[in-house]
């Protein structure tokens, strides 16, 4: 947590991205993983007074390998 506290004084926002889609894994499984990771990150960011920004990437048009 000390590192996050130092960072939050200079950068109050954190960009979250979903990551690459995993071939062979069900959509539901990948979505559950994304949700769990986001919740964990949100808990840490709340403690450090940070704001999460989720970057929506269009996986159907120009980011085909992103979930």
Domain locations along the chain: 2-54
pTM > 0.75: yes or no: no
Dist. CA 34–CA 45, nearest whole Å? 16
- pLDDT (tens, 9 = 90+) of the chain, 67 residues, equals 566 666 666 778 888 888 888 999 999 999 999 899 989 988 988 888 888 888 878 777 887 887 7
d(CA 58, CA 5): 32
Cβ neighbours for 19, distance < 8 A, ≥ 6 positions apart: 34, 66, 67
């Amino acid at each position: 947590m000390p590192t996050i506290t130092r960072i939050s004084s200079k950068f109050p926002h954190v960009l979250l991205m979903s990551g690459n889609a995993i071939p062979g894994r069900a959509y539901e499984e990948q979505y559950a993983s994304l949700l769990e990771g986001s919740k964990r990150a949100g808990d840490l960011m709340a403690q450090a007074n940070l704001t999460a920004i989720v970057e929506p990437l269009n996986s159907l048009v120009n980011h085909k390998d992103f979930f």
